[in-house]
Structure 1
Amino acid sequence: MKRRTFEELVAEADAVSVDGWDFSWLDGRATEQRPSWGYQRLMGERLARAAAALDIQTGGGEVLAGVPVLPRTMLATESWPPNVAKATALLHPLGAVVVADPDEPPLPFADGAFDLVVSRHPVRAWWGETARVLAPGGVYFSQHVGPASVFELVEYFLGPQPEEGRRARHPDDAVAEAEAAGLEVVEVRSERLRTEFHDIGAVVYFLRKVIWMVPGFTVEAYRDRLRELHDRIESEGPFVAHTARFLIEARKPGS
């Protein structure tokens, strides 16, 4: 089979839609080791026991839609218009309501509205708002992106990052912020996981989709570095990076 050229790989990855939070386009082109705890399964177990739940920053709704049972009151928030539309189409038939929200305080819900709040990979956790919308005894359960995640790729394009940038999203900081908001942290688990990019198209797609990794990324702006990385992958094999993930569960005191 003829090997595809740099231009072909990049053009394809630059044209494909990056709406939603489904990474299946990368199947066979990139691999990411998954955390051992299985967030979606654990989230599903908690949702099955909840009466009213909120999924913050649901993306395209794919993770929430994949759980077996939703509570009778299920809401989700999302800020990016293409994802709002996609999540609505996916989740509305399941009985979940998607609310367009800018992902900044305040959340558009009453105090104590939910007994469970979940979120997978929130861009930022607003702990005070999470505590406010939780009922007494309610639980926040989330998988966060940890510090220096995929920084091998970030630093390939942007150069060495300052220490404060490498430490951002540290689970110790999340614990401190949750406790400052009045929540009791029940559990925290952290892992660093191997990620491999097998062709330059996978890199382009990933950076177009996860827009905060290399802010302002475009193929044209980084074409020279992309070509160098393509040549490196062709000669040395997959580009290896490491994702950081942590699981956190916190409870609002009360009955």
Structure 2
Amino acid sequence: MKYTEDREFLQFLEHHKQSFSGWDFSFISVTGRVASEPLDWSYVSKAMKFIHSSKAMLDMGTGGGELLSRLRPFPEIVCATEAYAPNVPIAKERLEPLGVRVMAIQDDNSLPFGDAGFDLVLNKHESFSPTEVRRILRPGGTFLTQQVGGLDCAGINDRLGAPDYEYADWTLSQALAGLKSNGFEIVEQQEQFPVQRFYDIGALVYYLKAIEWQIADFQPEKYIEQLYGLYLDIQRDGYWDVKQHRFLIHARAI
């Protein structure tokens, strides 16, 4: 059967048109259409430990504030930044009633805060300037980040014949070097390549819509034949696996 005659396949491709806002993957995650192997660490558990002893904290790249809103009780001063403009009003609506100051930013190298204003900076899956993070942290302050490494889901690009992941050169060693050279002591580092499993092709095209930097300017029509081949594999095997790339760093400002 050709893909043009496969109604189910074509219906799954329509999921690329589903709306996506904030950082909410419930359309495919809560419904169990995609699943990830657990990490050996919990970013949130570590973050909450530091929040409990903090007086002033910043959450970098808060998205729509989905995660930060669940990390209460907050310290006296809580700020959040977000660089993706459509997320800013969503984050403000969710976080400002909780006492969080939400700031839109455009440049990691110029954060809208004074020197040494925070004792905790959290960063989950957001870019950062180690120089600027060090500037806004007090001596002895904590920087906790979980990053998406440059090899993340490279199997998707390979399978579809797409260009390499945009940030393919982002590695744990590169991040550590940047922090060490900008006044940080590394307290903890971990790295893992967990499996991410897709149970239908619609979940994959939705994922690529949301993670728009995985394949720049992704449109299903451009990769239609490769997607159909993968769809047939999922029909046969029940799922398709790719490896993610995650690393965690806990650093202390010297």
- TM normalised by structure 1 equals 0.91
Partner of 2:39: 35
1:130 CA displacement? 0.5
1:144 CA displacement? 0.8
Q: Once the two structures are superposed, what CA deviation does each residue of 1:180-205 show, in whole Å capped at 9, x if it has no partner?
A: 11111111011111111111111011
One-letter amino acid of the structure 1 residue matched with residue 50 of structure 2: R
Partner of 1:240: 241
Alpha carbons 1:57, 1:103 under 8 Å: kept: no
State how 1:10-25 maps to structure 2 within 5 Å: 10-11=13-14, 13-25=15-27
State how 1:82-231 maps to structure 2 within 5 Å: 82-122=86-126, 124-159=127-162, 161=164, 166=168, 168-231=169-232
Counterpart CA distance in 2 for 1:158 and 1:131 is 40
Alpha carbons 1:207, 1:217 under 8 Å: kept: yes
C-alpha distance 90-4 of structure 1, shift in aligned 2 (>3 A): farther
**Unaligned stretches of 5+ residues in structure 2:** 1-5
Q: Secondary structure at the match of 1:62?
A: coil
One-letter amino acid of the structure 1 residue matched with residue 62 of structure 2: T
Partner of 2:80: 76
Q: Secondary structure at the match of 2:233?
A: helix
Counterpart CA distance in 1 for 2:68 and 2:164 is 34
With 193-202 and 233-242 compared, the bigger mean Cα shift is at 233-242
One-letter amino acid of the structure 1 residue matched with residue 132 of structure 2: E
With 39-48 and 111-120 compared, the bigger mean Cα shift is at 39-48
Q: Secondary structure at the match of 1:25?
A: coil
Counterpart CA distance in 2 for 1:136 and 1:50 is 13
1:121 CA displacement? 0.6
C-alpha distance 189-50 of structure 1, shift in aligned 2 (>3 A): same
Q: Once the two structures are superposed, what CA deviation does each residue of 1:68-107 show, in whole Å capped at 9, x if it has no partner?
A: 3111111111111221111111111211111111143211
Counterpart CA distance in 2 for 1:45 and 1:89 is 26
Counterpart CA distance in 2 for 1:75 and 1:40 is 17
Count of equivalent residues: 247
C-alpha distance 161-81 of structure 1, shift in aligned 2 (>3 A): closer
With 172-181 and 85-94 compared, the bigger mean Cα shift is at 85-94
CA RMSD, 1 decimal: 2.0
One-letter amino acid of the structure 2 residue matched with residue 244 of structure 1: H
1:236 CA displacement? 2.9
Alpha carbons 1:105, 1:126 under 8 Å: kept: yes
Q: Which runs of 4+ in 1 moved over 3 A?
A: 158-162
With 81-90 and 150-159 compared, the bigger mean Cα shift is at 150-159
Alpha carbons 1:44, 1:69 under 8 Å: kept: no
With 63-72 and 172-181 compared, the bigger mean Cα shift is at 63-72
Alpha carbons 1:41, 1:67 under 8 Å: kept: no
Q: Once the two structures are superposed, what CA deviation does each residue of 1:227-253 show, in whole Å capped at 9, x if it has no partner?
A: 222122112331100111111011111
Q: Once the two structures are superposed, what CA deviation does each residue of 1:122-177 show, in whole Å capped at 9, x if it has no partner?
A: 1x221111011111111101111123111111222245859x965x2211111111
- TM normalised by structure 2 equals 0.91
Counterpart CA distance in 1 for 2:227 and 2:93 is 35
Counterpart CA distance in 1 for 2:25 and 2:191 is 22
One-letter amino acid of the structure 1 residue matched with residue 143 of structure 2: Y
Alpha carbons 1:157, 1:214 under 8 Å: kept: no
Counterpart CA distance in 2 for 1:14 and 1:190 is 31
